[in-house]
Amino acid sequence: MSLIATVLDFLPEILLLAGALLVFLIDAVGIRRIEVVGSIAVGAILFAMLFVFADLGFAPVAFLATIPPSQIDIVPAVGSTPLYWFTSLGLFFQVFFLIAAFLVSLASMSRPSRERGAAVFYGMILLATLGMMLVAVASDLIFLLIAIEVVSIPSYLLVAYTRRDARSMEAAMKFFIVGALSTVLSFFGASFLYGAYGTTNLFVLASGSAVSNGAFGGGGFPLLVVIGYCLLIAGLAFKITLVPFHAWAVDVYDGAPDDVSAFLAGGTKKIGLFAFFLVFLGPVLLVRGTVEFQWFGGIGAVALGPVLQVVLSILAVVTMTVGNVLALMQKSMKRMLAYSSISQAGYMFIGIAIGTAPALTGASLQVFAHVFMKTGAFLVVAAAAGLGVGPLIADWRGMGQRHPWLSVAFALMLLSLAGVPLTIGFLSKFVLFSAAIEAQGYFVWLAVAGLLNSALSVFYYGRVLKVMYFDAPERGSVIPSSTEADVPLPGAPNGRAAVSPIGLGAGGIGYARATTIALIAIVIVALGVYPGPLLQPLAAAAQHFVNLAF
Amino acid sequence: MTTLSIDGFIGLSIALLAISIFGILTRRNFILLLISVEIGMNAAILNFLFFAAFPNRSPFFDGLQGQSIAIVLVGLAATEVAVGLAIVLALNRLKGTINVAEASSLRE
Amino acid sequence: MSLEELAFLVLALVAVATALLALFVRELVHTILWIGVFFVDLSAIYFLIDAPFLGVLQLGVYAGAVTILLLFGIMVTRKRIFSREAITGIGALPAALAVATFVFLALVVGEFPGGEQAITSYNVTDLSQALFSQFGVYLLLLGLVMLGALAGAIYLVREGRE
């Protein structure tokens, strides 16, 4: 393949890289206004999104396609071990990641224009988005893991970028430690898989050949493979906040600046899900037979696929239940949203445990919905913090009267998170749970667990709605926001200084942020009512993905 | 020709991983945490080199891939140390400590 | 038992011992010294299994750069270099978890043929060609990681004038 063809294949990624470099360069020559820097970032993201849409073949822009259609959704020839490949589901995920980056970049342009660190903030967002897009095209385990590192390292630095806020810095420290542990576990697991298969290509791994075909002595490596997968599950589970590995997420989302929390919960978390798609769907789908192996002289038997399915199902149910129960007990708004984000990861995980095309469609839709709902919810919290609303749920009393438009948008997002009909959250859960019922067997119980959990989640979302609309605001309960957040008050939100103190735009929120929130609210309802344009191509893409034997 | 036993190699890398996990779970000084992470990364690098040195009979086996991955991992682990130290220095400037347990206000 | 095997066993024991000492010694500067020995020791193992390029890289990057970087981190963050850490308890649960990990992972040893095997060595020229052609994508990705780390780390430690 010629160099030009390769460059054209990666045109959206190269655009993002160019945007990041441009942002750093103009910072070096002294242009630091957030409007300029943010416009460059938003422009780069929009152009990248245009080209990804073209590659997906959407009608008005299809002539811009840079990846030849003959390269999309093609199984590589037997014996070749490519490092990357293009699937339509992967391209859809690239769109989702770009949407999350776009929303956060646009909303962040409302921060004060003289604020330091705008270049680093946008540069890191662009680099992390670039890494997420590379995750979506990986077909090699090491490519995938290094691409995840391309996301992780900018996201540690994003959490710390304010530099003056001790809470953010602590959150960055925790994030770094957990991320480093996850990296160690993933690479160690990958090394075991490399030892068993002799390569890290995901197609070869998906074939499961090393479980039965002996390599060194003739006995095969079932244990090496199983333990390698265990370590990989542990390493990747940190990224997607599955339950035994979730504790960091709450502290990090709570401590990070609000815009960054929106990006972490709405964007970077999803790479873990796609990594699970790539790594585990093959074994789950393919290795159905039982394989005998020698274990300390005795004969054991393992069926890798069904065992993995059971493990992943248990993880999914535990994740959604623990996330929901803990969310019920939170008093702080950001921590409640963080736990709700953990439980949403559990819903998405149902799709991987089942592994059929409709289930994948449901999980992808859930990701899409979550990008809007969670990014939007954190952005509303950021906006409210700028308006002087405290960090606790109780501080939101009477928001319905004080800031009616913001409250309506937030209520829509919460209803969608709870899965109320006519919102996109309902649609994704409906597709996911009906896929679980369709799959028969014990998967039906996954649907039951999901429904019970949705009912449970209505309690805490409903509590916020009640506080916002039916509890009268106490006189004097509105604490004036301390814009000089250099010395953080105990429990103060660190997004306090994030908004221009002059009452710009929609009541001090800022035009860009208000536009973003309105956009999110419109999309949540519009696609909830009329999902056809999204649902059909996505279902086709998921079907292709499953047919590729991944 | 050099001959070595496989068991010793895999035992060494597993022992290093266990030490690394133990260190990450118990040490509270950030520098020691970084060192624990480095020990774990070195265990993974050792594994890749080891599986490249003892060829597998799989038709897809590529020993040069293992060595290439090891080289890249050395760079990756060094990058992580650099980022970790940047966070340490910034935290030290703010709080005057690099102890993870002391610098902890993110609680309920 | 061949001579190489004996050498490997000694080097492996030194590696485990220095890794443990680095985590348990009470003075942080001694930790750095032990971890330096650990890195040099691993580099010797790489030479032993005929991966000389990796051995040199290990010496340069780890024994050289990373050790100095960690030492620098200690120098900047504390007033007296030779000050003792409050000893952190061993903790029954983490220790048990580490031992359990070790035992669980050590199960794989049973799958390998016992006894000594001949090792394969690779030509450095072939390695460099593979690294820059077939697996050049890995290096590009590493470059992206380093770009992010560089820009962010410089910004984070720079004294802000605001």
3-class secondary-structure state, position A102: helix
Q: How far is Cα B16 from Cα B23, in angstroms, rounded to an integer?
A: 10
pLDDT value for A71: 80
What residues in C contact B85, CB-CB < 8 Å?
A: 69-70, 72-73, 153
pLDDT value for B102: 64
How distant, in Å, are the alpha carbons of A244, A326, B1 from that of A313? 14, 20, 49
Kindly tell me if the per-residue pLDDT of A490 is higher than 60: no
Confidence bin at A469 (pLDDT 50/70/90): confident
Do B4 and C89 count as a contact with CB atoms less than 8 A apart?
no
> B52: exposed, middle or buried (C-beta count within 10 Å: 0-12, 13-18, 19+)?
buried
C150 at interface of A, judged by CB pairs closer than 8 A = no
Mean pLDDT is lowest, of A224-228, A497-501, C154-158, for A497-501
Across the interface, of A173, A188, A216, the residue whose CB is closest to B43 is A188
Mean pLDDT, rounded, for C65-91: 73
Confidence bin at A443 (pLDDT 50/70/90): confident
Strand-pair partners of B5: C116
Q: How far is Cα A549 from Cα A492, in angstroms, rounded to an integer?
A: 50
Measured between CA atoms, the residue of chain A closest to residue B105 is: A167
Do C145 and B76 count as a contact with CB atoms less than 8 A apart?
yes
Confidence bin at A503 (pLDDT 50/70/90): very low
> Between A and B, how many residue pairs show a Cβ–Cβ distance under 8 A?
141
B21 at interface of A, judged by CB pairs closer than 8 A = yes
Kindly report the nearest CA distance between residue C84 and chain A, in angstroms: 23
pLDDT value for C83: 58
3-class secondary-structure state, position C95: helix
Kindly report the nearest CA distance between residue A329 and chain B, in angstroms: 11
Q: Are A283 and A229 in contact (CB under 8 A)?
A: yes
Q: Which letter does DSSP use for residue A302 in this model?
A: E
Q: How far is Cα A499 from Cα A387, in angstroms, rounded to an integer?
A: 8
Confidence bin at A492 (pLDDT 50/70/90): very low
Angle at C96 between CA C93 and CA C97, to 5 degrees: 85
Q: Name the nearest CA neighbour of A16 among A46, A38, A36.
A: A46
- Phi, psi for A310 (deg, rounded to 5): -65, -45
- Angle of helix B6-26 relative to helix B30-53, nearest 10 degrees, comes to 160
Kindly tell me if the per-residue pLDDT of B59 is higher than 80: no
Element (H, E) at A266: none
Kindly tell me if the per-residue pLDDT of A215 is higher than 90: no
Please name the chains neighbouring A, where neighbouring means 3+ C-beta pairs under 8 angstroms: B, C
Q: Are A110 and A512 in contact (CB under 8 A)?
A: yes
pLDDT value for A159: 92
Kindly tell me if the per-residue pLDDT of A236 is higher than 70: yes
Q: Are A309 and A445 in contact (CB under 8 A)?
A: no
What residues in A contact C142, CB-CB < 8 Å?
A: 146
pLDDT value for B104: 61
- Phi, psi for A241 (deg, rounded to 5): 55, 50
Most A-contacting residue of B22, B28, B60 (CB-CB within 10 A), to test interface: B60
- Phi, psi for A474 (deg, rounded to 5): -70, 145
> Between B and C, how many residue pairs show a Cβ–Cβ distance under 8 A?
235
pLDDT value for C103: 86
Q: Which residue has the higher pLDDT, A526 or A79?
A: A526
Measured between CA atoms, the residue of chain C closest to residue B67 is: C127
Kindly tell me if the per-residue pLDDT of A245 is higher than 50: yes
Q: Name the nearest CA neighbour of A375 among A523, A230, A511.
A: A523
Kindly tell me if the per-residue pLDDT of A298 is higher than 50: no
Q: How far is Cα B60 from Cα B41, in angstroms, rounded to an integer?
A: 25
Q: Which two tokens stand for residue A353?
A: 């445990």
User: How do residues C12-41 score in pLDDT, each as one tens digit?
Assistant: 999 999 999 998 888 888 899 999 999 999
Confidence bin at A161 (pLDDT 50/70/90): confident
Kindly tell me if the per-residue pLDDT of C161 is higher than 70: no
pLDDT value for A157: 93
pTM of the model: 0.90
Confidence bin at A208 (pLDDT 50/70/90): low
Q: Which two tokens stand for residue A4?
A: 């030009």
Across the interface, of B21, B83, B105, the residue whose CB is closest to A167 is B105
Do A192 and C108 count as a contact with CB atoms less than 8 A apart?
yes
Length of chain B: 108
Across the interface, of A20, A153, A219, the residue whose CB is closest to C111 is A219
- Phi, psi for A25 (deg, rounded to 5): -65, -50
Mean pLDDT is lowest, of A284-293, C1-10, C44-53, for A284-293
Q: Which residue has the higher pLDDT, A424 or A6?
A: A424
Confidence bin at A217 (pLDDT 50/70/90): very low
Measured between CA atoms, the residue of chain C closest to residue A296 is: C110
User: Which range scores top for mean pLDDT: A98-102, A218-222, A397-401?
Assistant: A98-102
Confidence bin at A506 (pLDDT 50/70/90): very low
Q: Name the nearest CA neighbour of B105 among A158, A389, A255, A378.
A: A255
How distant, in Å, are the alpha carbons of A394, C36, C146 from that of A382? 16, 46, 31
pLDDT value for A114: 66
Q: Name the nearest CA neighbour of A295 among A384, A187, A222, A216.
A: A222
Across the interface, of A17, A160, A223, the residue whose CB is closest to C108 is A223
Q: How far is Cα A317 from Cα A327, in angstroms, rounded to an integer?
A: 15
Q: Are A381 and A341 in contact (CB under 8 A)?
A: no
Q: Which amino acid is at A56?
A: L
Kindly report the nearest CA distance between residue A223 and chain B, in angstroms: 14
Mean pLDDT is lowest, of A36-50, A267-281, B86-100, for B86-100
B65 at interface of A, judged by CB pairs closer than 8 A = yes
pLDDT value for A488: 37
- Phi, psi for A548 (deg, rounded to 5): -75, 5
Strand-pair partners of A479: none
User: How do residues A326-361 score in pLDDT, each as one tens digit?
Assistant: 999 888 899 999 999 999 999 988 888 888 888 889
Do C144 and A131 count as a contact with CB atoms less than 8 A apart?
yes
User: Which range scores top for mean pLDDT: A193-197, A277-281, A314-318, A473-477?
Assistant: A314-318
What residues in C contact A128, CB-CB < 8 Å?
A: 148
Kindly report the nearest CA distance between residue A198 and chain B, in angstroms: 4
User: How do residues C143-152 score in pLDDT, each as one tens digit?
Assistant: 999 999 999 9
Kindly tell me if the per-residue pLDDT of A482 is higher than 60: no
Average pLDDT of the residues of chain A: 82
Share of chain A above pLDDT 90, in %: 35
Query: In the block, which residue shows the tokens 């070096």?
Result: A28
Do C85 and B29 count as a contact with CB atoms less than 8 A apart?
yes
Q: Are A416 and A405 in contact (CB under 8 A)?
A: no
Q: Which two tokens stand for residue A119?
A: 């270049």
Strands A291-295 and B3-5, sheet pairing = unpaired
Do C108 and A227 count as a contact with CB atoms less than 8 A apart?
yes
End-to-end CA distance of chain A: 24
Do A219 and C149 count as a contact with CB atoms less than 8 A apart?
no
pLDDT value for A284: 59
Q: Which letter does DSSP use for residue B5 in this model?
A: E
User: Which range scores top for mean pLDDT: A364-373, A483-492, C67-76?
Assistant: A364-373
pLDDT value for A491: 36
pLDDT value for A390: 81
Q: Which residue has the higher pLDDT, A234 or B96?
A: A234
Share of chain A above pLDDT 70, in %: 85
Do A146 and C135 count as a contact with CB atoms less than 8 A apart?
no
The long-range contacts involving C154-157, CB below 8 angstroms and separated by at least 24 positions, are C155/A117, C155/A120, C155/A157, C155/A161, C155/A163, C156/A157, C156/A160, C156/A161, C156/A163, C156/B86, C156/B87, C156/B89, C156/B90, C157/B86, C157/B89, C157/B90
The long-range contacts involving B78-82, CB below 8 angstroms and separated by at least 24 positions, are B78/C61, B78/C62, B78/C65, B78/C66, B79/A153, B79/C142, B79/C145, B79/C146, B79/C149, B80/A153, B80/A180, B80/A183, B80/B37, B80/B41, B81/B34, B81/B37, B81/B38, B81/C66, B81/C69, B81/C70, B82/C69, B82/C149, B82/C153
**Cα torsion angle, A58, A63, A69, A72, sign:** negative
Mean pLDDT is lowest, of A151-160, A180-189, A415-424, C135-144, for A415-424
Query: In the block, which residue shows the tokens 């655009």?
Result: A15
Kindly tell me if the per-residue pLDDT of A500 is higher than 60: no
Confidence bin at A46 (pLDDT 50/70/90): very high
Please name the chains neighbouring B, where neighbouring means 3+ C-beta pairs under 8 angstroms: A, C
Q: How far is Cα C121 from Cα B3, in angstroms, rounded to an integer?
A: 11
Domains and CATH numbers, chain B: 6-95 (1.10.287.3510)
